[in-house]
Copies of this chain bind each other. A is one copy, B any other.
Amino acid sequence: MNELFPSKFLKALENLLGKERLLKEKEDLFSYSYDSSSLIRLPSAVALPERKEEVIEILRLAQEYKVPIVPRGAGTATTGSPLAHKGGLVICFSRMDRILEFNEEERIVRVEPGVLNGELKKFLKKYGFFYPPDPSSYEFSTIGGNVATGAGGPRGLKYGTTKDYVLALEVVLPGGKVLKTGPSTLKCVVPYNLTSLFVGSEGTLGVFTEIVLKVIPLPQKRILFVSAHEREEEPLEIITEILRKKLTPACAEFIDKTTILALSKSKGSLPIFENKNFSSLLYLELDGEGEILEKEKVLIERFYKDLGISFEKAEDESDIENLWEIRRTISPSLKVLGKKRFAEDVVVPRRFMKDLLFKIRKLEKDWGLYICCFGHAGDGNFHVNILFDSENEESAIKVRENVLKEVIELSGTISGEHGIGYIKRGFVNWELSPLQIEIMKKLKKVFDPEGILNPQVKIPD
């Protein structure tokens, strides 16, 4: 037994949860030892609470015994944030997955943290409503995890990210105190904005037990354009032009040359533009109501034709989904270019998107490594993936440092939606000032004075 994990604590948990909801055996713990980063950290135990009262008692006991606590959703994080880096207790929310309330008149939904984003979308669709944030993991990731990371997704361009939809939270603090961040009204300026402080806090400030979300009417129709470009940077210019025309597409996703290489290699050939020569793709999705959509569609068609750009267009839901399928398979395809990877999630102001792309191509050439640069270009948010094998790990580390430095020089940020977790903590002080970091540490202390919540995550030492 780990000294951080006294047997009295374990016994108290067992009394609370019963043996079947307190996992202690190595083979059971293994399932909770990884996320979508490459890290593996075996927790000391895993709790599977079903009710908020249990969460309260767990946090009371954890404070009493000074045991590190790691809240966990579905483990789709890419940064090691739901892992027990110092050992300790993982609290997994898979059994707290109820939709507690949906009120059409208020346009709000109240959920437990373990509800899957995709399940919530499916539920709301029946009523003609919509929860826009759509991380690639949306079918598997939980709302609690989405709130903890401040998840985004392609639809961020038009609809914003998780922070724009969280109205109120119920949070349990170390020691077991329950904090309601505010009422579920659409407006409230009585307390400081505690709700937003928890969004993106990566489980370091408190543990969510209830989440109130704003929802919006489901757009009536979607139209997807996928275009092929000989000049790799052309899609980035097109996004700018389209925004200048005062259009706001739902999504504007860029797929770069190296990512296309990965997709082609992994599939044999790309199931789109098969007889064309192109070095990048742009996914542009419009949504809304029939007539305006029609007008916007004509505008885009004309724009593409004037520029001589090849494109496919889908208006039928299943055609649209088939085209998105190519975009969604990027992540698993990348391994054909290297067994290992650094997956960055950087954002630059839109006017610097091309500079970043050119820099990445130069790094690729200089270091002889594949570097993919795809993602939510409408927001300036790129998933930069550096592929490598063990023998060139040193080079990959250098390239990664170069990419992050370039992003910061271009007034950007090293994370737009994945968060810092464990794996990016070493870079936080490249972006943030000593004052920002000092304030983060003090804020953490306000909520978690003993430092038992997700230690070694988000905040640098």
Q: Show the binding face of A for B, using Cβ within 8 Å.
A: 103-107, 128, 149-150, 152, 156, 161, 163-164, 177-180, 182-194, 196-197, 199-201, 205, 216-217, 240, 243-244, 246, 248, 288-289, 291-292, 295, 347-351, 379-381, 411-420, 428, 431-433, 435-436, 439-440, 442-443, 446-447
Contacts A240-B105, A291-B292 given: A413-B351 contact, CB under 8 Å?
no
Q: Which residue of B lies closest to A104 (CB)?
A: B244
Chain B residues within an 8 Å CB radius of A217:
246, 248
How many copies of this kind of chain does the complex include? 2
Contact A183 B419 (CB under 8 A): no
Contacts A189-B200, A381-B187, A446-B446 given: A350-B177 contact, CB under 8 Å?
no
Contact B411 A185 (CB under 8 A): yes
Please, could you name 20 A-B residue pairs with CB atoms under 8 Å apart, sorted by A? A106-B349, A106-B350, A156-B187, A161-B187, A179-B435, A180-B436, A182-B413, A183-B413, A183-B431, A186-B379, A187-B380, A187-B416, A189-B416, A190-B413, A190-B414, A190-B420, A190-B428, A191-B436, A292-B292, A439-B446
Chain B residues within an 8 Å CB radius of A200:
189, 192-193
Contact B187 A347 (CB under 8 A): yes
Contact A188 B413 (CB under 8 A): yes
Contact B192 A350 (CB under 8 A): no
Q: Which residue of B lies closest to A424 (CB)?
A: B190
Contact A412 B185 (CB under 8 A): yes
Chain B residues within an 8 Å CB radius of A187:
152, 156, 161, 347, 379-381, 413, 416-417
Partner of A107, one of B107, B190, B243, B419: B243
For the complex, give the distance between the alpha carbons of A436 and B164 in Å. Answer: 22
Q: Which residue of B lies closest to A346 (CB)?
A: B185
A327 to chain B minimum Cβ distance, whole angstroms, is 19
12 new A-B contacts, CB < 8 A, other than A185-B380, A192-B440, are: A105-B351, A106-B350, A106-B351, A150-B189, A179-B433, A179-B435, A180-B433, A187-B379, A189-B415, A191-B436, A192-B443, A291-B292
Chain B residues within an 8 Å CB radius of A349:
103, 106, 184-185
10 A-B pairs with least C-beta separation: A196-B196, A187-B416, A217-B246, A291-B291, A188-B413, A189-B200, A185-B347, A150-B189, A442-B446, A193-B196
For the complex, give the distance between the alpha carbons of A433 and B179 in Å. Answer: 8
For the complex, give the distance between the alpha carbons of A180 and B163 in Å. Answer: 19
Q: Which residue of B lies closest to A408 (CB)?
A: B183
Contact A177 B418 (CB under 8 A): no
Chain B residues within an 8 Å CB radius of A182:
413
Chain B residues within an 8 Å CB radius of A216:
248
Contact B192 A201 (CB under 8 A): yes
Chain B residues within an 8 Å CB radius of A199:
193
Chain B residues within an 8 Å CB radius of A191:
432, 436, 440
Contact B243 A105 (CB under 8 A): yes
Contact B161 A164 (CB under 8 A): no
Contact B416 A188 (CB under 8 A): yes
For the complex, give the distance between the alpha carbons of A197 and B193 in Å. Answer: 5
Chain B residues within an 8 Å CB radius of A180:
433, 436
Chain B residues within an 8 Å CB radius of A105:
240, 243-244, 350-351
Partner of A348, one of B185, B194, B414, B439: B185
Q: Which residue of B lies closest to A348 (CB)?
A: B185
Contact A190 B291 (CB under 8 A): no
For the complex, give the distance between the alpha carbons of A246 and B104 in Å. Answer: 10
Contacts A105-B244, A243-B105, A350-B106 given: A188-B415 contact, CB under 8 Å?
yes
A185 to chain B minimum Cβ distance, whole angstroms, is 4
A433 to chain B minimum Cβ distance, whole angstroms, is 7
Contact A190 B432 (CB under 8 A): yes
Q: Which residue of B lies closest to A288 (CB)?
A: B292
For the complex, give the distance between the alpha carbons of A179 and B196 in Å. Answer: 18
For the complex, give the distance between the alpha carbons of A180 and B435 in Å. Answer: 9
Q: Which of A105, A156, A243 has the most CB of B within 10 A?
A: A105
Contacts A189-B149, A380-B185, A442-B446 given: A351-B417 contact, CB under 8 Å?
no
Chain B residues within an 8 Å CB radius of A106:
349-351
Contact B380 A419 (CB under 8 A): no
Chain B residues within an 8 Å CB radius of A149:
189
Chain B residues within an 8 Å CB radius of A152:
187
For the complex, give the distance between the alpha carbons of A95 and B90 in Å. Answer: 54
